Chains A and B, each alone.
Chain A
Amino acid sequence: MVGLQKAAIDGVALTTGVILAPVEAWDRMVAAMNSRSDLQEEVLRLQQENRVLKGQSQRLAALLSENARYKALLRSAQLIDDELIAAQIIAVSPDPSRHIVVVDKGTLDGVREGQPMLGEEGLMGQIILSGERTSRAVLITDSAHALPVQVNRSGLRAIAEGNGAIDRLLIRHLPAKSDIRVGDLLVTSGLGGRFPNGYPVARVTEVVISEGEAFALVTAEPISALDRGRYVLVLQRTVESEAES
């Protein structure tokens, strides 16, 4: 059955591509008509941005190796090197009760089931089925999805569940006395081993503590705009060495 579904993914994506070809052609034509000066300006801007990012990533490399040394000293956690695959969202599943998208990278590009998918600002979801050239990914707001998170400020751990609304995550079963406030950043906690820790997920928008209730009801808004933007990153984890924990 899964084989059939995998085979179907690629066929469906191909057909979508054919249907969308006129739209794409129009986009390309509009892009081609951009004036030369506009393009030059854009190139300049991007070059500057690229320089800044490169500078930042140099520091990142140093920090990563430093972090790795500390972790090795502590002999506690496994060293993880994250590699990113750039992908594009090419379709949204027609099933209105699910938040599932199709991305244009598959097993041939190294995309596997269970890999996290990132937007520009934060976590978007994870791959659930990968065909050869395309994959399906479920978004964190899907009502069948939940992920372990951590409040960045206090380190409090919780489970953020999707509930079918594109701009909302729910945290239930958090004791009413918990240290969580509106505006807190939720990041992945790394528990469960599916998502690496430290990626921003959502920002708390509402904390409801009712009298006499044992649990607070916390609502959060995903940081990446899940229903906008086409470009995503699929996180490929390569575990370098496993120290005893």
Chain B
Amino acid sequence: MERASASWVIYLSLVCGLLFMLLPFPLEWRIFRPDIATLTLFYWVLALPQRVGVTTAFFLGLGQDLIEGSPVGLSSLGLMISVLVLLSNYQRIRQFDGVQQSLMILVLLMLTSGAEQWLRNGMGMPGLPWLGLVGLSCSTVCWLAVREILRSLRRYYEVT
């Protein structure tokens, strides 16, 4: 395995994704906010599966929960599950064209959100309304843009 270089780019981009959650959105529009942090995580898992994996997903989930104020660890499980799926299929998903890949990302986002809803249900917390699926599609639409931005960053800083 080659040595890690410029891995700060990875963590900085994840932190930026988390900061995006803090941008003020009107109360009724929050549902359409694309989940940039999760998309960033998915990109790095696809690009550098030897560097970013389940542990990173766990800590990103912790960060999301602390920002949202939901019970700590709630988002982690879903992220870890979808990162596992991604890790075992990354070679295939890398070969997909843009639309196929976006659809795959939508499935992964639904898996993440599904696991979270399941936990919320078990804890008696209010779940996401059905409109939440629209929010997931907003994230999906952003996938290609996020991928291009992060890819150029990865090439520029030669992150490995």
Q: B68, A94: Cβ atoms under 8 Å? A: yes
Q: Which of A5, A19, A20, A143 contacts B69 (CB 8 A)?
A: A5
Chain A interface category by residue count: 20 to 34
Interface string of B65-88 (1 = CB under 8 A from A): 011111110000000000000000
Contact A96 B128 (CB under 8 A): yes
User: Of B28, B33, B68, B69, which is in contact with the most chain A CB atoms at under 10 Å from its CB?
Assistant: B69
CB distance from A140 to the nearest CB of B (A): 13
Interface string of B3-31 (1 = CB under 8 A from A): 00000000000000001011111111011
A77 to B7, CA, bound (A): 64
Q: Which of B19, B28, B68, B120 has the most CB of A within 10 A?
A: B68
Complex partner residue of A19 from B23, B27, B127, B129, CB under 8 angstroms: B23
Give the contact-size bracket for chain B. 20 to 34
The reply to whether B67 and A8 form a contact with Cβ atoms under 8 Å apart is: yes
Q: List 27 A-B contacts (CB under 8 A).
A: A1-B71, A5-B66, A8-B66, A15-B22, A91-B24, A92-B24, A92-B25, A92-B26, A92-B27, A94-B21, A94-B22, A95-B69, A96-B30, A96-B129, A97-B120, A97-B125, A97-B132, A98-B70, A98-B126, A100-B69, A129-B69, A142-B126, A143-B126, A144-B124, A164-B126, A166-B27, A227-B26
Residues of A within 8 A of B (CB): 1, 4-5, 8-9, 12, 15-16, 19-20, 91-100, 129, 136, 142-144, 164, 166, 226-227
